[in-house]
Amino acid sequence: MTKPSPIKSLLIFFGALVILGIVFSAINLNAPKPAAIDLGTLARQITNGEVKAVTVKDSTLNIVTNDKKDEVASKEGGESFTSVMKNLGVTDDKLAAIDLKVANASAFSNWMSVMLPIVLPILAIGVLVLFMMRSVQGQNSRAMSFGQSGAREYGKNDKNRLTFGDVAGAAEAKEELMEIVEFLKSPKKFVAVGAKIPKGVLLMGPPGTGKTLMARAVAGEANVPFFHISGSEFVEMFVGVGAARVRDLFARAKKSAPCIIFIDEIDAVGRQRGAGLGGSHDEREQTLNQILVEMDGFDPSIGIIVMAATNRPDVLDPALLRPGRFDRRVTLDLPDINEREMILKIHAKSKPLVAELPLRKVAERTPGFSGADLANVMNEAAILTARKNRKTIELDDILMSIEKVMLGPERRSRVINEKEKNIVAYHEAGHALVFHEMPEADPVQKISIIARGHAGGYTLKMPLEDKRLHPKSAFIADLAGSLGGYVAEVEAFGEANVTTW
C-alpha cells in the first residue's frame, strides 16, 4: 500500500477541519435561540410578575418566564444584578419573588476562553511545519539511499527456499555446483588443504533454462543468505551511483557471510570495454570496474560466492572471465526428453491431472522447449481447463496448450471465403505430403486449416526423439517440405493463381 504524500495528508487534515466547522455551524444555526431583550424590558417583566427565574453567568442573564419562554439579556460586568434592577425601579419584594441563581464560571472554562484563541493558531502552524519536515526528511532519506543497492535478500529460513530437488534435470550443472555448496557449508575443510574455491560462478544458457532457479537452489542447499540483483539495477543516469551500489552490496554480503551474491543479466554492465558493443557508457564501465575490484578485494575464506547469469557470454569483458573472478562457468542447456518429463512432473504437482496422464507423451511433443516454456504450457492447460468448467486437466488440454504457446490462440472467428479455405487446405496438404514422403523429415503430427496466431493454417511435425546433430539430408527435407505448399497450389490452381500464403 502506497503512503500518501505529506501535501495530500495536509489537505485532508484541513479539509476535515473545514467539514467539522461546517457541521457544528449548521447544528448551532438549527438550534432554537432564546429571544434577546434589554434590561428595561426585563425590569418591567419582573415588576409585572412575569419572570419565574433568572440565572446570572458573568454579564449574561438567562431568563425563564412564567409561560416557560427562554430569554436572554446582558448587563455590565462590574455591577450586580440586584443593583441594576433596583436602579431601574424594581422593588426588593419583586426581586425576592423570582428564583435568582448565580452561575460562576469554572477555572477551566476561564482558562480555555483565554487560551483557545492563542493555542489553536499555534497548533495549526505546528501541524503544517510537521508535515513539511516529514516531507523534507523523506526526500533526504531517498537521497541518502540513492547509492544503496536494491538487492533482494532471501534469508536462511525463507519459506520459499529452494533446493536441488526443486530443479529438474541439469545433473552435470548440479554436480559442478555441489562443490560450491560444500564450500559454503564447511569452508575450513577446503582451506585446511590449501584448496581455493572459485570466487565467481557464471551460469550460461538460453533464456528460460533455470539459471536464477539454480542459483537460488545452491543457496537453499547450503542454507545461506541469497542476495539477488539485476545488472541493470546498477546503472543510473548519474555517474558513480552504480559503483556505490556495488560497494554497498558487497558490504552487506560481508556482514551476512557465508552467503551468495547473484547478479542476473550481468551483460547489462559487464560488456566488453572498448569494443564498440553497446556504445560508450562511463557509468557502466565504472560499475564494471568496481565489480572487478570488489571480487579481487575479498578473501575467499570468508565464504562469499558471486554467481552471475547471462545468455550472451560472448559479449562479456575478458577481465570478468579471467581466473580469480568468474573462472567457473556452468552451462545450462535446453532439457532433453527425460529432463522435460521431470520438469513437467514438478509443475504438475500443484495441478489436478486425470489419473495416469502420460507426461512422457507431452515431453515428446515439446522438443526445444525450455523449463519456462514447459511451466507456461502447464499453466495454459490449467487455464483452458477452468474455462471449460472442468476440475481435472486432460492430455488434450496440454496438447492444445503446446500449440497455443508455439503459434498463438486459435482464431475460429476469422472470416474466410470458400476459395481461400480451399487454397489453405491444398497448401497445408502439400506440406504434409512432402514431409511424409521424405524419410529424413520429422513425422507429421497434425494438420490444421484453422487460423492460429499469424498462421492461416499449419502443419505440425515433431521428431520422435531428441536430436543434437542434423545431417545435410534433414535440411534438404525441411526445404522440400516447406516448398510443398507452393507446389500444391501450382498443381491445383495453376501457376497464375499462386498466392502469398
Helix 371-387 vs helix 395-407: angle between axes, to the nearest 10 degrees? Answer: 120
- Supply 108's cell numbers: 477551566
CA quadruple 72, 76, 80, 86: dihedral positive or negative?
negative
Q: How far is CA 469 from CA 337, 465, 475, 476, in A?
A: 15, 12, 11, 14
DSSP assignment string, 348-399: HTTS-BPTT--HHHHHHT-TT--HHHHHHHHHHHHHHHHHTT-SSB-HHHHH
How far apart are the C-alpha atoms of 256 and 210, rounded to whole Å? 25
Structural contact between residues 174 and 340, judged by C-beta atoms closer than 8 angstroms? no
- Classify residue 465 as exposed, middle or buried by CB count within 10 Å of its CB (0-12, 13-18, 19+): exposed
- Classify residue 498 as exposed, middle or buried by CB count within 10 Å of its CB (0-12, 13-18, 19+): middle
How far apart are the C-alpha atoms of 227 and 153, rounded to whole Å? 5
Active site residue 175: no
Cβ count near 62 (within 10 Å): 16
Query: What does residue 462 show for φ and ψ, rounded to 5 degrees?
Result: -135, 140
- Supply 66's cell numbers: 412564567
**C-alpha dihedral over 235, 239, 242, 244, to 10 degrees?**
-160
Amino acid at 247: R
Q: What is the DSSP pairing of strand 152-154 with strand 226-230?
A: antiparallel
Q: Assign residue 174 a region (left: φ > 0; alpha: ψ between -120 and 50; beta: otherwise).
A: alpha
Catalytic one of 283, 339, 428, 489: 428
- 3-state class of 119 per DSSP? helix
Q: Which residues are catalytic?
A: 428
